[in-house]
Amino acid sequence: MWDIDHTLLRGGDVAARAWMAAFTEVTGLAWQATPAFAGRTDLDICAEVFAVHGVTGCTPERFFDRYVEQVHASRHLFAERGTLLPGVRAVLDALGTRDDVVQTLVTGNVPQVAAAKIAAFGLTGAFDAEVGGYGTDDSVRATLVRRCRERAEAKYGESFRPVVIGDTAHDVSAALANDALAVGVATGGTTMAELAHAGAHAVLADLSDVAATIDIITA
């Protein structure tokens, strides 16, 4: 269960700009305050943004529709302004050769935006995105892990030992709430010490040591 932002890639400011533009289009209000996005679900962020700006006449669904349109209009900028993080492609490729591993996404992003980010870096084929957990499933990240596991077990007809890989304490706590293996990777704004303190079972500076990463994920 891979987190996307700051775990697999950095998308530049493309999604944040799309978010702000969509907000003003849908609500007619000027953007005032940018919340902390890291590790949170889009439903959670949306609720905060609406509250801070005093929005009452709009649903998250209507906002997300416009947000997705904005992201699609600027999706060519992800690869231009963003970057794939060290070791990611090699780790995904190595795990992709194993028939005892299903790789998917557990991300706070709405599904269409998750797909656009992954596609921008040529990673679409690495994941079974259909069984992923997304920021439209629930505002609480732990629920995304649960939904992902349920979707995977329903589709594949077997039980899985979930592994959550992410860059924030939110990823770690969501894993722990589901008895999943929590692997922290310090390529975002959270340090290795902070990820360990949050309870991660393993912490990596980044994914550049492919063999070590594979060993941890498949242990």
Contact positions vs Mg ion (CB under 5 A)? 3, 5-6, 167
Q: How far is the CB of 54 from Mg ion (least distance, A)?
A: 28
Q: How far is the CB of 137 from Mg ion (least distance, A)?
A: 16
Nearer to Mg ion, 112 or 190 (CB): 190
Nearer to Mg ion, 8 or 68 (CB): 8
Residue with the shortest CB distance to Mg ion = 5
Q: How far is the CB of 27 from Mg ion (least distance, A)?
A: 26
Nearer to Mg ion, 46 or 105 (CB): 105
Nearer to Mg ion, 79 or 105 (CB): 105
Token pair recorded at residue 140: 């609480």
Report the alpha-carbon distance of residue 209 to residue 170 in Å, rounded.
24
Q: How far is the CB of 6 from Mg ion (least distance, A)?
A: 4
